[in-house]
Amino acid sequence: MTNKLDGRVALVSGSGRGIGREIALKLASEGARLVINDLDAEPANETAETIRTAGGEAVVCAGSVTEDGFAERFIKTGVDSFGGLDIIVNNAGYTWDSVVQKMTDEQWQAIIDVHLSAPFKILRAAQPVISAKAKEDAAAGREVFRKVVNISSIAGTGGNAGQINYAAAKSGILGVTRTMAKEWGRYNVNVNAVAFGPIRTRLTEGSADGDSTIMVEEKEIKVGVNPDLLTQMERMIPLGLVGTPEEAAGAVYLFCTPKSNFISGQHIICGGGFVI
């Protein structure tokens, strides 16, 4: 551990698997104390145990980020377990694709809820803690910067056919980012976003027959990008490769370090040079 985030309390939603897991492991490797969340308790506990085995600190707050009361429970877990709140990464989410004429109201609302409404509720629940901590720091003459990193996508910056719900939510989170940077600047909170390009995860690595699915709250959701299409996309990436979850986590980490203390209200695209 290099301890660039020594003692910082970090909450990462959707951190039991995929990119979220790698974000959590990266922050923990730099000394942060983690609150791990996943829809399912098993992967959340496994990630937390990996951190603890490596000498770090982690607790679990399992459950859907869209559940009533989850946001308050998530924040409370960090405060009760570690006494504070320094980093929030709004990462949880999934895709449920369809062209506009076939998309149901349920599909639309589910994706808006997980990618846009849930981060809003988490930030709203965090505000009293952030405000109180900022006042404590000011009274003690300390300059402490806290971090929010919201996860967007190139679908949110440029749109993507078949993903009107996802693109709308991921575009909306950029508006949340810019607004919260203005509202929370007085608290010394940097609010930024990372928009991912093609990254190899269970949501993109579909089977050759196109029948890959995941279960989300008892719903079977089709996922995966056609392997041939993924190969074509790879050829369009200037760096020549689809990104890994570890590389995606590195982009988020940049916004969690003190090096970003004068950067706020911004987004970067982590896509190897690929843009829509």
pLDDT digits (tens, 9 = 90+) for 199-252: 988 766 654 455 577 778 777 777 766 677 677 788 899 999 999 999 999 999
Q: Is the pLDDT of residue 177 over 60?
A: yes
Q: Is the pLDDT of residue 15 over 80?
A: yes
- For residue 208, the model assigns a pLDDT of 45
- Please compute the mean of the pLDDT values over residues 24-36 and round it to a whole number: 98
pLDDT digits (tens, 9 = 90+) for 58-105: 999 999 999 999 999 999 999 999 999 999 999 999 999 999 999 999
- For residue 203, the model assigns a pLDDT of 65
Q: How many CA atoms lie within 13 A of 265 on its CB side?
A: 10
Q: Quote the DSSP letter at residue 115.
A: I
Give the residues across from 3 on adjacent strands: none
Tell me what percent of the residues of the chain surpass a pLDDT of 90: 84
The number of beta carbons lying within 10 Å of the beta carbon of residue 211 is: 9
Tell me, what amino acid is at 23? I
CB 123 within 8 A of CB 150: no
Nearest C-alpha neighbor of 110 from the set 52, 67, 46, 153 = 67
Higher per-residue confidence, 207 vs 164:
164
pTM of the model: 0.94
The Cα–Cα gap between 244 and 140 comes to 42
* Per annotation, catalytic residue among 94, 166, 187, 253: 166
- For residue 207, the model assigns a pLDDT of 45
Does the annotation count 187 as an active-site position? no
- For residue 221, the model assigns a pLDDT of 79
pLDDT digits (tens, 9 = 90+) for 101-160: 999 999 999 999 999 999 999 999 999 999 999 999 999 999 999 999 999 999 999 999
| Lowest mean per-residue pLDDT among 17-31, 41-55, 210-224 | 210-224
The Cα–Cα gap between 242 and 220 comes to 26
Give the residues across from 189 on adjacent strands: 146
CB 67 within 8 A of CB 117: no
- For residue 201, the model assigns a pLDDT of 87
CB 36 within 8 A of CB 12: yes
